């Protein structure tokens, strides 16, 4: 019952080349800055130039690693991963990075995204007589590198990348190189930065680069392969950028930490503008603007700024109750969301409240939050959502739920408004959202529009594999 | 190095009488809402009317308890505790509640605060031939109840309370009662609330009461003993309230969660007024007001509101790096605070920034935070602190550090301003602070003024005991 | 179902004074040699001359301690304990040693045995206003030392010991001394030995002394207090030895490791003589003598030697299945004892077998073992037991079970023989047993005779306390 | 320093088909009976007819599995494994069974033995483009099955087996079958038995079959594949038995539990005859025969029986100190073997002792044991070894050490006798050993003779792989 009504990201990835540094320790702190992108499993693989060593397990970064563990994986090259697991596959076997020995030497790989042709590629590998030990598309990619042709890892990577359809922000570790690779559509972010003492870092988000002290950084371009193994990075446009990129809009709406930069723009600034545009599109007479913490704070600040309605905190979120395995008893279960959110009464009592939230996915927490406000003596609740209604599932690595689960697939905006008990409900329009982002196109808005940048195919779900080797 | 520069609270306490409910499970969720008051150890003691059972250990509430553990401590009466440990005594032996069998039957006790005459009381107990298994003043209180005279626990409690000098918000469990007790000075908060299904809850903060669904609540008065064991609570003024109460100002400045109510006032509202008064007292020309997250957010909102300078986020705090046991390597150590805070550049670049913080204790994080801002291209940093300079240690259960550690004991405001690299620094005046709180007196401001409501005596530190039985 | 049908010992104790050595580490290895006396909990307390430090927990010695834990408890003086727990009180709270601070400084205590007047002493302590945190008689003893009169620990110990009725082999740690104390009846063993590099060790069994390299050793006399804190041990006869000592016969029959020396005699040699006497008293025509491993091996060797019937292994015991928490499913449950013992068929097929066992307590494993032999094709099974029928419970620290549980309390020897399916059954006579031990009196044979050396009183069980503070 | 001077076995394997039973639970108890064959890691894979599920980890069977874990892997078919790890590869990654999905569906495999052509086969797989995630030859075998041709698993297995040179006792799990496979040389044991309630079990040793209640059993023949999936087992001679089988002599000398049956003969009986033949070949005037516990007990019984010299225990072995991670301090280190073995003085004092041991590998514990005896007052020590000198390493899955480590490779018998401080030393002759076993040929005696049944080749060690993916 404590599951938040949010889309959920698959992963954060990290790659480091830092000669003379303890890269495992750096990876530990870098992954901590990517922990929000995946809290189920974590792993680090390190190369000392000769041998690749790996440690990964289920848990937060701080639970998976201790000083002893880190001391056993020393070297100059590292990749790391934090994983969010979709329901039903919370197995240690699917933790990343994947590490294998190949005819070309050892290789490890960590992945953020989802291949839509994974089932097909998997069948091709199996038919070649290759056995697969997990249900992950990442193992498929790793094995494809093992059987690619080409003289160098760079060549083989160029070859393999052409077969991968879908979202992949990758870091790859060989004996003496770290590669950062981004799919040609550019679905998810990937950045590289320079360490002041020499070496480079690649990471899903800019925050991780800054946490490690990087002084200059840029995004890995869609379709680009970047090799980190020298004073100078080597960048190569492996696949031409398609006519239309497909940056994931939801990185701006929800996933990225607000200090990230995506497609050249500050995520925090975009979220403020989302709030501003929402205030322009759907103004309302009210006394206070409150966010649903934490992700909606920048948008609520923007809404307040544009509307002139004062900004204030309305909810306190209990940060410690999220990952509990204790089931509440019956009377606590009736409290529901109140176990996790408390209203700051004095800030909302007898007021007309604008409640800003980033999105409504399944719709199971919005109603209870509004009830909490009403029970606390709020006069009116005007719900404002910083994106359009989510009507379609995602196949690119984001767990939005199925068609049946999506409330906006089943209900009109009016129906949703009644269901959640709001006095008014407005979603931001697609145009308003894209104008806040600052582009008209080049983004994947399939969850709003159903227009998938790569057409979905049968077998995209993982059910088939999981029937063979259960988790 | 990751230690925050904040005063640190000793504990949160919780008591529950809920016939026909699973009180251990309720206590679990209630303690989760008090986790911010102590993250080192947690414990729950339960009575089923006959037998008292206890589970406690080092760790967060969610680490100490699992479904199996909770299933073993069932009953109608419970008390619980979350503990912050002062340096050097992070022993499981000092975890609370304390549970003992006595001539009057079993009793358990959990405590928030500090007795300043604990050393003296401890010596008296030892001289009576009583052995003590910990260094905690809570064990002293528990043993005093075991050897008090009187016909009922209520009588014995009335007797013992007269000997206790200092801060104590207590919950006490006997076979068939839960008591909530607050010292006559009222240092730390303690509240009681009514469960809709019958029964009552006592808790350090109102947030915990609301998390458990309490519908009506009030503060336990200074010097009051309240018994929870019937449909109606029984309240008794055991010690007359002294001429001057001594509510801890820092509960308003920093400790309490902002949804708490203390001395009849909303903590969030007080913090907003602290910011407003600060803006009035120490105005400055600037472009943006930013908080040091999370505790300074309400004050920064207030500063913005009063000054008209826009409010925005300036820092992102990494929530996952706080409790790590991994030491950074040398080059990461140089980054220092940057491992934990990242600047949102676009929000502060080229701007004159008002940085609002709740307090400066040792002064070791303020400078690095300002450096982060300057490195991100901030034009000016105007530091505003929502309380006066902290010049004196606390002996009532708050870990402020020693005289030597307190930067404001050693340096003038100008010197501090230069040390931390701010372009200007203003503290809120005592008057400004008390006006935000809404009282002129009745509060303990000893850390600012050195005027201790109970004169400190020799032996208040725990060093003596710890030399006998090490931790 | 895996519970062996054996009486179970309460504890092993260890004390070390070893200047300039790492006594915690020594204690670790010493306790490992006492692990067979108690496998439920383990603890070590150490003094560095100033501070006492303690670590104890549930588990085997090797599970409770790791290098980090040991490194935190350094000093010159140590005591240690391995605990066997009676059913229902497997609580960490009852693990030993107990450590408290007293008016005379800190003290820790570890105990093997049982006080029969514990309930009475406990009530006296409670009435004095002392609270007790466990249900253990060891805490009672520790608290009595805290409130004893006298100028030195030695004096106070002399005083307290006079009030203790029952079995106690004790080690006591103060800031600068280790005491070894044995009750005047001498129920359980306690030995002291000299370290070649200086210092002394006290231990329940000689094996632990030899494991630590002691070169000379002797038994602590009944009623003797020995202080280990100098080059020379100081020994003092604190209580006169009573007319009759009451050495526990079962130490010879079963508890002690066969390399122990008890009452001046080798346990292994005694057990061989038990077998020899059994062969003399109850000869039988047979082809092979087999032990029930491991405790009956020496007696079976003796039986073979006296009878001339060849000795051989008949059973293999699975050493890894003993402490499992996995319940077998139904079809495995029917196998019962076969999960733990396998017959070596070739050694017994078509043979008349003498099966030597040390004792029959509840009688639940003897029958199944005989069935295993019969199923393997044995012609006849002649069961020989190396002690008389056990008809009475023990109140001195050995878990024999209650009257109702003891098969020999309910059934005659003939009935038992039929029940277990043996072709003949003989117990060793009391005279035969004592002649093997080499004494006619001075031993406690209450479990055979019902003649308790100290008359049992009401309240000797712990149930009363456990109702107050559950476990 | 606690490493025993014994050859060490690689593994125990187990396979179960038991319709309507909880096969995971059965596998748990079966593996417990194979724990002596490998104590580093354990694993169980189960099929419910559709999905294969796996749990494996480092630790004893009782540490790797708990009720929750077992409840997650339910089905009708299971295989299990206990692993002994050679130094340097104690990685969870090498734990077994291996489980992969293939073009033919999922498959899991567990292996006892060693392929001498593993390096070559590994290179072939890598060249095919297959990536390997471990350094284990078992993964090589599993992957070869994934890329074998043939219509059924049976066909593919017949094909693959022809390429495997070396020792392999295998159990293989598919969706609806369990296979038991033994290499044509028959190096290590493998048995199958019938469950009374229906179904069959395969296991390395007969003891495990009896622990699970099997009523009839036979050895899997060299080169045989047996399928367990029906009321009737299906057996197939996949590879013709070579002119000479190569049963591992050391299974009789040391590895197998004495209740095992190997090559049709009772291991306990063989060991007795080894002792008898040793007494015939190398008689000596002495007062007592003692074993080095536990493995030499049957041989010492045999020596005693043949020589007429009385048998007795001479050493007590501390069962709890074997797997400790605590390093002894300097003065304890000097004690060396005395930490683990104590002498039963009374049994050997002033006596001429025959000390029977199964083998001398590196020779590092024999000398200290003899010193212990001498220090305890033994008059003479006559060392008798139940096999010839070990002069050559094993490449078939037994960790004998390298040529340099083997004391008999470097020293003559006389030199060894002087080094270990014995008064006389005799090894059993090859003829004497084989006569005890009851065969003249068909056994692998390469460690004694250097005559390897399959010639060793370059690359048989695992170093190469481990340089790629470290552990």
Q: What pLDDT score was predicted for residue B324?
A: 59
**Closest Cα in chain A, distance from residue D202 (Å):** 23
C447 assigned binding-site residue: yes
Q: What pLDDT score was predicted for residue B123?
A: 95
**Residue B436: pLDDT band by 50, 70, 90 thresholds?**
very high
Q: How far is CA C392 from CA C168, C250, C398, D77, in A?
A: 21, 13, 12, 49
**Residue A87: pLDDT band by 50, 70, 90 thresholds?**
very low
Q: Does the pLDDT of residue D2 top 50, yes or no?
A: no
Q: Stretch D417-444: mean pLDDT, rounded?
A: 97
**Closest Cα in chain D, distance from residue C335 (Å):** 7
**Residue C464: pLDDT band by 50, 70, 90 thresholds?**
very low
Residues of B labelled as active-site residues: 11
Other beta carbons within 10 Å of A215: 11
Q: Does the pLDDT of residue D3 top 80, yes or no?
A: no
Q: For residue range D282-340, what is the model confidence (pLDDT) as tens digits?
A: 999 999 999 999 889 999 999 999 999 999 999 999 888 765 567 777 777 777 777 88
Closest by CA position to A140, among listed A171, A179, A81, A100: A100
Best residue in C58, C129, C466 for a mutation probing chain B (most B CBs within 10 Å): C129
Per-residue burial over D32-71, b = 16 or more CB atoms within 10 Å of its CB, e = otherwise? bbbbbbbbbbbbbbbbbeebbbbbbebebbbebbeeeebe
- Judge if D212 and D274 occupy the same domain: no
> CA-nearest residue of chain D to C347?
D269
| 3-state percent breakdown (helix, strand, coil) of chain D, nearest 5 | 30, 25, 45
Q: Does the pLDDT of residue B234 top 80, yes or no?
A: yes
- Judge if C266 and C133 occupy the same domain: no
Contacts of A36 in chain B (CB under 8 A): 319-320
Q: Does the pLDDT of residue D385 top 80, yes or no?
A: yes
**DSSP 8-class letter at D171:** E
Please state the pTM of the whole predicted model. 0.91
How is residue D326 written in tokens?
Answer: 């605590």
Give the 3-state secondary structure of C71-135: HCCCCCEEEEEEECCCCCCCCHHHCCCEEEEECCEEEEEEEEEEECCHHHHHHHHHHCCCCECCC
- Judge if A351 and A280 occupy the same domain: yes
Q: Does the pLDDT of residue D278 top 60, yes or no?
A: yes
B295 assigned binding-site residue: yes
> CA-nearest residue of chain D to C299?
D312
Query: For residues D308 and D343, is the Cβ–Cβ distance under 8 A?
Result: no
Q: Is D348 within the bounds of a domain?
A: yes
Q: What pLDDT score was predicted for residue B2?
A: 42
Q: Stretch C139-159: mean pLDDT, rounded?
A: 95
**DSSP 8-class letter at B329:** -
Peptide bond into D97 cis (omega under 30): yes
> CA-nearest residue of chain A to D470?
A53
Whole-angstrom Cα distance, residue C450 to residue C392? Answer: 6
Given B242, B267, B291, which residue is the final one in a domain? Answer: B242
Q: For residue range A93-125, what is the model confidence (pLDDT) as tens digits?
A: 788 999 999 999 999 999 999 999 999 999 999
Q: How far is CA D459 from CA A53, B144, B303, D123, D454, in A?
A: 22, 75, 74, 11, 14
**Residue B68: pLDDT band by 50, 70, 90 thresholds?**
confident
Q: What pLDDT score was predicted for residue D125?
A: 96
Best residue in B23, B26, B32, B213 for a mutation probing chain A (most A CBs within 10 Å): B32
Total domains in chain D come to: 2
Q: Find the CATH number of the domain harbouring C104.
A: 3.60.20.10
β-partners of residue C225 are: C181, C236
Q: What pLDDT score was predicted for residue C396?
A: 85
Give the 3-state secondary structure of C243-265: CCCCEEHHHHHHHCCCCCEECCE
- Judge if D254 and D237 occupy the same domain: no
**Residue A270: pLDDT band by 50, 70, 90 thresholds?**
very high
Contacts of A326 in chain B (CB under 8 A): 25, 28-29, 62, 65-67, 70
Whole-angstrom Cα distance, residue D227 to residue A86? Answer: 37
Whole-angstrom Cα distance, residue B48 to residue B26? Answer: 15
Contacts of C29 in chain D (CB under 8 A): 321, 326, 328, 332, 339
Q: Is D343 within the bounds of a domain?
A: yes
- Judge if D45 and D85 occupy the same domain: yes
Query: For residues D83 and D111, is the Cβ–Cβ distance under 8 A?
Result: no
Q: For residue range B310-321, what is the model confidence (pLDDT) as tens digits?
A: 999 999 998 887
Q: Considering chain D, what percentage of its residues have pLDDT values greater than 90?
A: 77
> CA-nearest residue of chain D to A156?
D129
Q: Is B258 within the bounds of a domain?
A: yes
Interface contact D133-A133, CB threshold 8 A: yes
- Judge if C204 and C310 occupy the same domain: no
Q: Find the CATH number of the domain harbouring C399.
A: 3.40.50.2020
Best residue in D205, D210, D311 for a mutation probing chain C (most C CBs within 10 Å): D210
> CA-nearest residue of chain A to B62?
A324
Pairing of strands A380-385, A352-357: parallel
- Judge if D283 and D348 occupy the same domain: yes
- Judge if A257 and A230 occupy the same domain: no
**Closest Cα in chain C, distance from residue B52 (Å):** 5
Whole-angstrom Cα distance, residue B164 to residue C164? Answer: 36
Neighbours of chain D (3+ CB pairs under 8 A): A, C
Interface contact C298-D316, CB threshold 8 A: no
Q: Does the pLDDT of residue B457 top 80, yes or no?
A: no
Whole-angstrom Cα distance, residue D51 to residue D142? Answer: 17
Query: For residues D315 and D292, is the Cβ–Cβ distance under 8 A?
Result: yes
Whole-angstrom Cα distance, residue A9 to residue A121? Answer: 23
Q: What pLDDT score was predicted for residue A420?
A: 96
Q: Is B157 within the bounds of a domain?
A: yes
Of the two residues C170 and A334, the one the predictor is more confident about is C170
**Closest Cα in chain A, distance from residue B444 (Å):** 25
- Judge if A278 and A188 occupy the same domain: no
Whole-angstrom Cα distance, residue D39 to residue D6? Answer: 14
Give the 3-state secondary structure of chain C: CCCCCCCEECEEEEEEECCCCCHHHHHHHHHHCCHHHCCCEEEEEEECCCCEEEEEEECCHHHHCCHHHHHCCCCCEEEEEEECCCCCCCCHHHCCCEEEEECCEEEEEEEEEEECCHHHHHHHHHHCCCCECCCCHHHHHHHHHHCCCCCCHHHHHHHHHCCCCEEEEEEEECCCCEEEEECCCCCCCCEEEECCCCCEEEECCHHHHHHCCCCEEEECCCCEEEEECCCCCEEEECCCCCCCCCEEHHHHHHHCCCCCEECCEEHHHHHHHHHHHHHHHCCCCCCEEEECCCCCHHHHHHHHHHHCCCECCCEEECCCCCCCCCCCCHHHHHHHHHHCEEECHHHHCCCEEEEEECCCCCCCCHHHHHHHHHHCCCCEEEEEECCCCCCCCCCCCEECCCHHHCHHHHCCHHHHHHHHCCCEEEECCHHHHHHHHCCCCCEECHHHHCCCCCCCCCCCCCHHHHHHECC
Phi and psi dihedrals of D301, rounded to 5?
Answer: -60, -45
Average pLDDT, chain B: 91
Q: Does the pLDDT of residue B263 top 50, yes or no?
A: yes
Q: Stretch A195-216: mean pLDDT, rounded?
A: 93
Q: What pLDDT score was predicted for residue C307?
A: 98
Q: For residue range B168-217, what is the model confidence (pLDDT) as tens digits?
A: 999 999 999 999 999 999 999 999 999 988 899 999 999 999 999 998 89
Whole-angstrom Cα distance, residue A155 to residue A177? Answer: 13
**Residue A444: pLDDT band by 50, 70, 90 thresholds?**
very high
Hey, which bits of B164-292 come out as E strands?
A: 166-173, 178-182, 191-194, 200-203, 216-219, 224-228, 234-237, 247-248, 261-262, 265-266, 288-291
Interface contact B102-C126, CB threshold 8 A: yes
Q: How far is CA C93 from CA B133, C35, C329, in A?
A: 12, 19, 33
The number of residues in chain C equals 471
Q: Is C156 within the bounds of a domain?
A: yes
Q: Is B5 within the bounds of a domain?
A: no
Determine which of C365-369, D10-14, D23-27, D464-468 has the lowest per-residue pLDDT on average: D464-468
- What residues make up the domain containing C385? 250-469
Whole-angstrom Cα distance, residue C92 to residue B101? Answer: 16
Q: Is C154 within the bounds of a domain?
A: yes
Q: What pLDDT score was predicted for residue B94?
A: 80
Q: Does the pLDDT of residue B377 top 80, yes or no?
A: yes
- Judge if D442 and D326 occupy the same domain: yes
Q: Does the pLDDT of residue D463 top 60, yes or no?
A: no
Between D130, D148, D466, which is nearest A146 by CB?
Answer: D130
Average pLDDT, chain C: 91
End-to-end CA distance of chain A: 23
Between A127, A146, A468, which is nearest D131 by CB?
Answer: A146
- Judge if D348 and D426 occupy the same domain: yes
- Judge if C128 and C228 occupy the same domain: yes
Q: For residue range B27-59, what is the model confidence (pLDDT) as tens digits?
A: 999 999 999 998 889 999 999 999 999 999 988
Q: Does the pLDDT of residue C241 top 90, yes or no?
A: no
The single residue listed with the structure tokens 């890995």 is: A220
Whole-angstrom Cα distance, residue B225 to residue B242? Answer: 16
Q: Does the pLDDT of residue C11 top 80, yes or no?
A: yes
Interface contact A54-D466, CB threshold 8 A: no
Q: Is A5 within the bounds of a domain?
A: no
Other beta carbons within 10 Å of B67: 11
DSSP sequence for A403-426: TTT-HHHHS-HHHHHHHHT-SEEE
């Amino acid at each position: 019952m404590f599951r938040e009504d949010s889309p959920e990201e698959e992963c954060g990835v990290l790659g480091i080349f830092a000669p003379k540094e303890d890269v495992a320790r750096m990876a530990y702190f870098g992954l901590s800055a990517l922990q929000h992108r995946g809290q189920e499993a974590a792993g680090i693989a390190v190369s000392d130039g000769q041998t690749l060593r790996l440690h990964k397990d289920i848990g937060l970064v701080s639970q998976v690693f201790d000083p002893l563990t880190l001391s056993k994986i020393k070297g100059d090259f590292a990749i790391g991963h934090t994983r969010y697991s979709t329901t039903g596959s919370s197995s240690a076997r699917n933790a990343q990075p994947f590490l294998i020995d190949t005819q070309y030497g050892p290789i490890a790989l960590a992945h953020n995204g989802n291949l839509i042709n994974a089932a097909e590629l998997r069948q091709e590998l199996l038919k070649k007589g290759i056995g697969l030990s997990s249900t992950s598309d990442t193992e498929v990619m790793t094995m494809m590198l093992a059987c690619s042709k080409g003289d160098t890892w760079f060549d083989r990577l160029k070859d393999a990348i052409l077969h991968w359809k879908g979202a992949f922000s990758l870091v790859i570790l060989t004996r003496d190189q770290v590669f950062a690779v981004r799919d040609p559509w550019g679905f998810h972010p990937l950045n590289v930065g320079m360490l002041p003492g020499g070496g480079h870092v690649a990471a899903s988000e800019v925050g991780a680069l800054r946490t490690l002290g990087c002084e200059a950084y840029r995004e890995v371009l869609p379709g680009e392969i970047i090799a980190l193994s020298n004073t100078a990075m080597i960048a190569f446009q492996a696949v031409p950028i398609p006519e239309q990129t497909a940056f994931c809009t939801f990185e701006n709406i929800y996933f990225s930490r607000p200090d990230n930069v995506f497609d050249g723009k500050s995520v925090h600034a975009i979220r403020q503008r989302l709030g501003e545009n929402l205030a322009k599109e759907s103004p309302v007479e009210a006394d206070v603007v409150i966010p649903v913490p934490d992700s909606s704070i920048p948008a609520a600040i923007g809404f307040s700024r544009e509307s002139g309605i004062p900004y204030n905190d309305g909810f306190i979120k209990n940060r410690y109750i999220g990952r509990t395995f204790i089931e509440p008893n019956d009377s606590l279960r009736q409290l529901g969301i109140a176990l996790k959110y408390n209203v700051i009464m004095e800030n909302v009592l007898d007021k007309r409240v604008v409640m800003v939230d980033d999105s409504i996915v399944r719709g199971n927490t919005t109603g209870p939050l509004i009830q909490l406000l009403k029970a606390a003596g709020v006069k009116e609740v005007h719900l404002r959502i910083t994106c359009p209604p989510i009507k379609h599932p995602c196949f690119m690595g984001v767990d939005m739920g199925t068609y049946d689960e999506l409330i906006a697939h089943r209900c009109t905006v009016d129906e949703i408004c009644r269901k959640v008990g709001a006095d008014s409900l407005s979603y931001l329009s697609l145009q308003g959202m894209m104008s806040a982002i600052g582009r008209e196109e080049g983004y994947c808005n399939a969850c709003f529009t159903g227009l998938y940048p790569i057409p979905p195919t049968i077998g995209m779900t993982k059910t088939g594999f999981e029937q063979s080797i259960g988790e």
